[in-house]
């Protein structure tokens, strides 16, 4: 790849840069130059300059803290390869895969196997280790060995069965190695009371209090440790924000994420068919909860946007809402959902970019080994180019995920990823002049 991308708006949150129009020259997988105007004889120019509307944005590649790849255990729903390809189409250059596979990634051997299977993926796939064996909350995994095998964090995501003392120990041991513990904040005991004859995972009745109670319990566990790093996944209830803010005021190391689907204005959408396409854990809540999540994202209380990409086979998303599996795919629609239905367009666009790049990087921390998300001359390119004004329809033809369980199927959204370059390699392109590369450039 040797090309000049002309007339883009460069947003680099860590550098405090938001400048347009700019030219960016990418050669052999690296950013060779960045300036108001670059002239280089013989180098092809792709001109994104436009007279009106929002300029095309070039920014660091997105980082997704929360992805389910179903590998191993359910390759019919997703594999590492198909999930990574979907991530590339969504502008993500780094994704963090959860441990709730079959079997769960709860040992160093299983972690090493997962990491090995991810080596040739389109984007960098990082893995968390389960916090407890079998995700059942009874006994901690070998924390130090799992991190030594390459885990960037610990998480029993999908479950939250561990008692406070066990979570405290996990936070302390992971914190000594600079790793966060990612917690799925739902009070399983309370939820099970609503569904005494069924599994807690598929129970549809999950009121806000079950999330708020779990957030408070996780904060209590964090407060009893020294050096622990707690990350709260997919917050959805307005009541969860006060304990988060209070924990920060106490000086605790705590971060949080929100999903695009919990930011979306669902009243603007027609109901999907079947209705279970909207079923997620935690559930979609009230307009007040949604507004609180958006405000918390804007003011920095919430650090990151994460998709909770949860692919399912079609027979898992049936007309029987109560028995259907929770979750929806989200890698390819995240940007557009946030722009179109999440009220993160226009002057809020830099916040959206920050929460998809620098925010997730802060959550993972330096010990993860993930380089800073930057647009910097001389560095290997991990970038995304997207058009915030471009409309597109979510369809079988536009999705790379192996699953189709999205309530936005058939919906026209605004905001399209045009180009994704991961570790110097073009992994997604809508421009025939920039073909997807089979391998990394030499010297990268």
Query: With contact defined as beta carbons under 8 Å apart, do 308 and 274 qualify?
Result: no
Q: How many CA atoms lie within 13 A of 287 on its CB side?
A: 4
Distances (CA, A) of 401 to 126, 231, 272, 350: 18, 27, 19, 27
Euclidean distance between CA atoms 414 and 401, whole angstroms: 20
Indicate which residue of 23, 157, 308, 387 is catalytic.
Answer: 308
Beta-carbon neighbour count of residue 134 at 10 Å? 15
- Strand 2-12 and strand 45-47: the pairing is parallel
How far is the C-alpha of 229 from the C-alpha of 155, rounded, in Å?
12
Strand-pairing partners, residue 45, are 4
Phi-psi region of 435 (alpha: psi -120 to 50; beta: other; left: phi over 0): beta
35 part of the active site? no
The vertex-360 CA angle with 254 and 330, nearest 5°, equals 115
Q: Which residue has the tokens 């993926």?
A: 121
C-beta neighbour count of 267 within 10 angstroms = 8
Catalytic residues: 308
């Amino acid at each position: 790849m040797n090309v000049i991308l002309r007339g883009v708006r460069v947003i680099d949150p860590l550098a405090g840069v938001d400048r347009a129009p700019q030219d960016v020259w990418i050669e052999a997988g690296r950013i060779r130059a960045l300036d108001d105007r670059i002239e280089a004889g013989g180098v092809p120019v792709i001109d994104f300059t436009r007279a009106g509307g929002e300029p095309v944005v070039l920014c660091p590649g997105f980082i997704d803290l929360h992805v389910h790849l179903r590998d191993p255990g359910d390759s019919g729903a997703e594999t590492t390869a198909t999930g990574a390809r979907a991530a590339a189409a969504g502008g993500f250059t780094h994704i963090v895969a959860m441990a709730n596979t079959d079997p769960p990634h709860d040992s160093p051997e299983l972690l090493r196997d997962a990491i090995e299977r991810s080596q040739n993926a389109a984007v960098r796939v990082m893995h968390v280790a389960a916090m407890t064996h079998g995700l059942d909350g009874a006994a901690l995994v070998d924390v130090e060995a799992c991190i030594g095998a390459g885990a960037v964090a610990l998480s029993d995501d999908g479950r939250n069965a561990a008692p406070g003392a066990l979570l405290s120990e996990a936070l302390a041991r992971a914190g000594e190695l600079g790793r966060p513990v990612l917690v799925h904040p739902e009070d399983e005991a309370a939820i099970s009371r609503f569904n005494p004859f069924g599994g807690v995972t598929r129970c549809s009745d999950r009121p806000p209090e079950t999330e708020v109670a779990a957030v408070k319990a996780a904060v209590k566990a964090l407060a009893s440790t020294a050096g622990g790093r707690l990350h709260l996944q997919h917050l959805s209830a307005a009541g969860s924000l006060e304990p988060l803010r209070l924990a920060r005021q106490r000086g605790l190391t705590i971060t949080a994420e929100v999903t695009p689907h919990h930011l979306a204005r669902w009243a603007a959408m027609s109901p999907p068919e079947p209705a279970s396409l909207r079923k997620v854990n935690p559930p979609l809540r009230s307009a007040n909860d949604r507004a609180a999540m958006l405000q918390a994202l804007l003011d920095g209380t919430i650090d990151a946007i994460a998709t909770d990409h949860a692919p399912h086979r079609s027979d898992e998303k049936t007309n029987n809402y109560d028995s259907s599996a929770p979750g929806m795919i989200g890698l390819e629609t995240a940007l557009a959902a946030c722009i179109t239905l999440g009220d993160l367009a226009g002057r809020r666009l830099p916040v959206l970019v920050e929460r998809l790049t620098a925010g997730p990087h802060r959550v993972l921390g330096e010990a993860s080994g993930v380089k800073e998300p930057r647009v910097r001359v001389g560095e290997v390119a991990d970038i995304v180019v997207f058009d915030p004004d471009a409309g597109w329809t979510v369809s079988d033809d536009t999705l790379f995920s192996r699953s189709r369980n999205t309530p936005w199927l058939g919906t026209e959204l605004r905001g399209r990823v045009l180009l994704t370059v991961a570790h110097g390699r073009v992994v997604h392109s809508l421009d025939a002049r920039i073909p997807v590369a089979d391998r990394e450039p030499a010297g990268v």
